Structure 1
């Protein structure tokens, strides 16, 4: 188990993510039914609580040939138009709302859906239509039109070959092709991009994403998107696009898996610790950002490289000022901080904790001595890298660790990568005693190295944050940038480091990684060596 050190309650951090509620609801307020008023009328218009069997029975009844034919006739539909029941909602007062999809001459009608509203007695009281346009389309178009006008070639995994449809969502209904492009989106989310083009002209008529994520109000990262599962009325914090990453509420307990967060409308939290979902939003967002980072930057599909998600557990204990990773449950756990007001769920904390899982499945650096310091530093290094990759304006990327969670209560970060000793306990440079120092403080040596490698020595400013990084012998270092530095460290970690790697070994493995990536004698390899020397790691 990786946990925060008891000394000053400072230790391994967990990454947090914040999600903001940014939902827009469209619709009109309906008047109370005739003869009903006030609370009674409003109550009657609410959805009735139905068992699964009751709902199935309603759908089956509405989907009967006689019922559909009666509705089609009442709506004045063409003989080529067929209705297909998608859902039925029943209100407490007995009124029902039958949702239909439509086909025309056997083709799906995009924008042809409608809802028939019925009184408790079954009388039609109105209809809500996606389009009021009359459909009259010639459907016998040569298949060769696809070759000339198909909107996208379905090469990506998960893509679907184009299908012929009637497009009625806008303007005059027309024959069209619909292509679903698979693969993944830029942020790693599964891609189900629907592209609809006019079958005659090839003009794009519509484009929409079939994969939808929820939004939440985070405490630390502002308005963010998160991956969720489910549908209207029943969403859960389970991310299908990231191996099933899930976030649970321990409800201040200290054991068990916790209960997966659920929500009716897929908007989560309110940005304050008083709302239990808020911590979940931050943790879930951080887990997603970390997953995306490893997959997009390092080609690693999941923390263990097996495509499987991890669990984030929030609201651990009471006033618990800690966060930790456990291999046994493949999960991160977050306390709510002093006074339960500052959950340790910031993005860099989440990335830090999940990276312990990455380390466990790669070098598996022993969690003690110098290898333990490297283990901790690896988590801090990639926590910073995740921040820069995510580039969230509400949690500006920096080389500080835990700057959002205020673990000391004075607004200062937990750790500083440019000059680790500013926290009062961490090491700036290697000494023979480093092997006996708490791993959260001996990690400062590698953190300092990584800052020098990425940014350089002396006074610097990155994203509005000012740094002044010293070197052991006063030498000047010009950094190579975090994009190259992170790749060097990951290559060394995943291919070269072992459970017993110490600082001298880390110097050698990272130089080798830099040489393999950028060439022997390259500026990158030379800077790696110079940055290690600047923190007094001169090799064995």
Structure 2
């Protein structure tokens, strides 16, 4: 259950998400009046709710799923045009799921000039008269050239070197690296993808993917493709098995689950070994001395995982296509691990220390096979925060499978790997209620989380799921004592594992993409909760509370909430349109908006739209009040400055490491010189702002430096600069001059204005 931690080409990842969701990161306003109808006992008891039937995914037969995939494939070109993709881009259907209300969610991979785009995946949601999308990257997909400067042979050599430095054994690349476009972080780049085989340091097979820039030869990214993680079994006890009679011999082939087969590798490390067979259909004796015992646990683990996904979500196999994976027991010698491989579409289990401590417990099986479900759906990249979410997803569904199977020999719990005793001291591998109990995992999110091993960065997501299921504080579940803390010191009310698992599954299969990070997972699960239980329902609020409890996003207060509104600056005579966003947790309650202190010429509508044309220079305090039908009220105050300003909102693209570009503003009919405190507001969309120089050029040609490659790896410029331009006439043409001085990241001037 281990996996190599990949590295990045820069000191940070740039993950752009375009989730179609309710605005879930709203800050709360100051509340007065009557409290709303949010759960009165948040932090106590449990919130029990029934999911909306229309939002449930309907089970698809292989034929129905194939028909949906074929239909989406036929419409892929039209869909690409609707999404505004470029002429060189094409969509390739990966999967289709459908809700009971007819809403269809189609997951696509993308190509550019015929090359796979890594990090270009997206989901298109069609239903209820509209089409929206969730994208792994919002970057414009373009590369300067499709012919590489670095040869495939050079990329292969560098990939092999990277693998050996990472501790790989017998490293080799089968075939030639493939040409791809890398789009998961930073600027899209032409690249080579090399897959290095061999073995990892602990004997696990290796499928190390190394992404090499095809122009510079630098390593852009790497990740590991092998995911670690009646009969009587050692851990599951006496359980029913699906077997097949062939002549007079029974085979461990499960005809009820698409013919899943269980093999004995006989301590080998390749192939399938020997199919388990028996003469009387009574398998194993519960001890590792009987080779069938491991086969019983392995076969039952596969069956229980298949049944869980089918019974709870209507999912027909790991890929939802009715095709069974297969399982291999007795891998290697003294191999203390188990792993899932997409390449063989199979699960493999080692026998542990001394070949007497097999890693075949139910939660291990469910964990590893759930890596396959993640791969078939969101495809969370096994690196950084998305890698932690990938690992946590397997832990989450491992717990859920245990609760679904409800075995007397393996009582359901929120511990990971507690039965296999891999450390030899009776302790689990991980604790979901307080992950730091293992000595390394994190309980809460912080900005460094993406830089640690994914098995430890999974901690906060595991903690979130436990809190959402059971709530905070001390309690005993199925005889196991838990005591789960919260980052903000406030209690969390659980909603039960049944509903928590539904929310996570819908978020994973419908809204997450390959680059989803913790903030994106919060957005995805809140959208899933809104779909299943209603926006701002008690269940929805519990999701918000559980995320806040691990330091991801704010809690949503009961009653009326108003989104934070920035201080405003407008020009005299310029048209204004500002929508105040607010919501109430009181179900079915309408909102009424009012405002005081608005500049002359502006008014607010009953729906919260401030519009009009300011007529008078000055600065005023504006107070917006929003009230719902129950009398719950919130206020938000901000300043509104009206000035004589001159701006340009025409987009100007900034070439990569190219010539400077300019955006002009002309001032007419103004006497005298500019102010000693001339204000220049600049909004530039550009990853890695440290690439940029930004200057103001006066009417007489004098240059004022606003930004000189400062800000490092941060994205975008969105700020106001103040310069002494008193030696320049106000009237004339002013220019914003921007130049990108370092290759790879690109962007554009969105708008700027001048108050001279």
Question: Could you say which TM-score interval applies, normalised by the shorter chain?
Answer: 0.5 to 0.7
User: What is the Cα deviation at residue 221 of structure 1?
Assistant: 1.2
User: What is the Cα deviation at residue 4 of structure 1?
Assistant: 1.5
Instruction: Give the number of the structure whose residues are more often helix, by fraction.
Output: 1
> SS where residue 226 of structure 1 aligns?
coil
Of 439, 447, 452, the residue aligned with 2:454 is 439
> SS where residue 432 of structure 1 aligns?
coil
Tell whether 2:417 aligns with 1:402.
Answer: yes
Could you give the per-residue CA deviations for residues 269-300 of structure 1, whole angstroms, max 9, x where no partner exists?
11000111100100100100000000000100
User: What is the Cα deviation at residue 440 of structure 1?
Assistant: 0.6
Could you give the per-residue CA deviations for residues 200-225 of structure 1, whole angstroms, max 9, x where no partner exists?
xxxxxxxxxxxxxxx11110111100
What is the alpha-carbon distance in structure 2 between the residues aligned to residue 397 and residue 231 of structure 1?
Answer: 35
For 1:527, the equivalent position in structure 2 comes to 542
Of 249, 260, 264, the residue aligned with 1:249 is 264
Check whether the contact 1:233–1:263 (CA below 8 A) recurs between aligned residues: no
Question: Any residues of structure 2 matched to 1:132-531 within 5 Å, and which?
Answer: 215-230=230-245, 233-531=248-546
What is the alpha-carbon distance in structure 2 between the residues aligned to residue 447 and residue 482 of structure 1?
Answer: 12
> SS where residue 256 of structure 1 aligns?
coil
What is the alpha-carbon distance in structure 2 between the residues aligned to residue 257 and residue 360 of structure 1?
Answer: 22
Check whether the contact 1:232–1:265 (CA below 8 A) recurs between aligned residues: no
Check whether the contact 1:283–1:350 (CA below 8 A) recurs between aligned residues: yes
What is the alpha-carbon distance in structure 2 between the residues aligned to residue 308 and residue 281 of structure 1?
Answer: 21
For 1:70, the equivalent position in structure 2 comes to none
How many equivalent residue pairs? 332
User: What is the Cα deviation at residue 318 of structure 1?
Assistant: 0.7
User: What is the Cα deviation at residue 257 of structure 1?
Assistant: 1.6
What is the alpha-carbon distance in structure 1 between the residues aligned to residue 427 and residue 472 of structure 2?
Answer: 22
Could you give the per-residue CA deviations for residues 120-160 of structure 1, whole angstroms, max 9, x where no partner exists?
xxxxxxxxxxxxxxxxxxxxxxxxxxxxxxxxxxxxx9xxx
> SS where residue 309 of structure 2 aligns?
helix
User: What is the Cα deviation at residue 503 of structure 1?
Assistant: 0.2
User: What is the Cα deviation at residue 233 of structure 1?
Assistant: 2.7
What is the alpha-carbon distance in structure 2 between the residues aligned to residue 468 and residue 495 of structure 1?
Answer: 32
What is the alpha-carbon distance in structure 2 between the residues aligned to residue 264 and residue 242 of structure 1?
Answer: 22
What is the alpha-carbon distance in structure 2 between the residues aligned to residue 388 and residue 235 of structure 1?
Answer: 30
User: What is the Cα deviation at residue 231 of structure 1?
Assistant: 5.2
What is the alpha-carbon distance in structure 2 between the residues aligned to residue 513 and residue 463 of structure 1?
Answer: 28
> SS where residue 300 of structure 1 aligns?
coil
Of 4, 19, 44, the residue aligned with 2:2 is 4
What is the alpha-carbon distance in structure 2 between the residues aligned to residue 339 and residue 475 of structure 1?
Answer: 47
Question: Any residues of structure 2 matched to 1:83-94 within 5 Å, and which?
Answer: none
What runs of 5+ residues in structure 2 fail to find an aligned partner?
A: 6-60, 62-229, 555-563, 565-756
Check whether the contact 1:322–1:334 (CA below 8 A) recurs between aligned residues: yes
Check whether the contact 1:480–1:527 (CA below 8 A) recurs between aligned residues: yes
User: What is the Cα deviation at residue 361 of structure 1?
Assistant: 0.4
Check whether the contact 1:232–1:264 (CA below 8 A) recurs between aligned residues: no
> SS where residue 330 of structure 2 aligns?
strand
> SS where residue 461 of structure 2 aligns?
helix
What is the alpha-carbon distance in structure 2 between the residues aligned to residue 471 and residue 339 of structure 1?
Answer: 41
What is the alpha-carbon distance in structure 2 between the residues aligned to residue 477 and residue 395 of structure 1?
Answer: 28
Could you give the per-residue CA deviations for residues 5-35 of structure 1, whole angstroms, max 9, x where no partner exists?
479xxxxxxxxxxxxxxxxxxxxxxxxxxxx
For 2:94, the equivalent position in structure 1 comes to none
> SS where residue 486 of structure 2 aligns?
coil
Could you give the per-residue CA deviations for residues 503-535 of structure 1, whole angstroms, max 9, x where no partner exists?
000000000000110001111110001100100
> SS where residue 268 of structure 1 aligns?
coil
Check whether the contact 1:261–1:280 (CA below 8 A) recurs between aligned residues: yes
What is the alpha-carbon distance in structure 2 between the residues aligned to residue 506 and residue 401 of structure 1?
Answer: 22
What is the alpha-carbon distance in structure 2 between the residues aligned to residue 501 and residue 478 of structure 1?
Answer: 26
> SS where residue 308 of structure 1 aligns?
coil
TM-score normalized by structure 2? 0.43
Q: Which runs of 4+ in 1 moved over 2 A?
A: none
What is the alpha-carbon distance in structure 2 between the residues aligned to residue 277 and residue 4 of structure 1?
Answer: 25
What is the alpha-carbon distance in structure 1 between the residues aligned to residue 418 and residue 283 of structure 2?
Answer: 24
What is the alpha-carbon distance in structure 2 between the residues aligned to residue 474 and residue 6 of structure 1?
Answer: 34
> SS where residue 392 of structure 1 aligns?
coil
> SS where residue 425 of structure 1 aligns?
coil
Check whether the contact 1:514–1:525 (CA below 8 A) recurs between aligned residues: yes
What is the alpha-carbon distance in structure 1 between the residues aligned to residue 552 and residue 350 of structure 2?
Answer: 36
> SS where residue 317 of structure 2 aligns?
coil
What is the alpha-carbon distance in structure 1 between the residues aligned to residue 318 and residue 414 of structure 2?
Answer: 22
Instruction: Give the number of the structure whose residues are more often strand, by fraction.
Output: 2
What is the alpha-carbon distance in structure 1 between the residues aligned to residue 495 and residue 3 of structure 2?
Answer: 32
Root-mean-square deviation (CA, aligned residues, Å) is 1.5
